[in-house]
């Protein structure tokens, strides 16, 4: 999965991915925040 693929996901899908990876996020995180946290988890920068 690449960063541009992450942008096509919904916020809820991104949160599910974060939960699967065991990455914490807050309710205030915006979509781009979630994507950047996932990007780090997947090794994208």
Residue 1: band (very low, low, confident or very high) from pLDDT cuts 50, 70, 90: low
H helices of the chain, where?
Answer: 3-6, 11-21, 31-41
Please say whether the beta carbons of 23 and 16 come within 8 A.
Answer: no
C-alpha angle 12-32-29 in degrees, rounded to nearest 5:
65
Per-residue pLDDT reduced to its tens digit, 5-43: 889 999 999 999 999 999 999 999 999 999 999 988 877
- pTM for the whole thing? 0.80
Which comes out higher in pLDDT, residue 45 or 6? 6
The rounded distance, in Å, linking the Cα atoms of 25 and 34 is 7
Measuring CA to CA, how many Å separate 31 from each of 4, 21, 34?
13, 17, 5
């Amino acid at each position: 999965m690449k960063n541009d693929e992450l942008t096509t996901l919904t916020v809820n899908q991104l949160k599910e991915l974060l939960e699967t990876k065991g990455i914490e996020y807050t309710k205030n995180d915006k979509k781009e925040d979630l994507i950047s946290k996932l990007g780090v988890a997947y090794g994208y920068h």
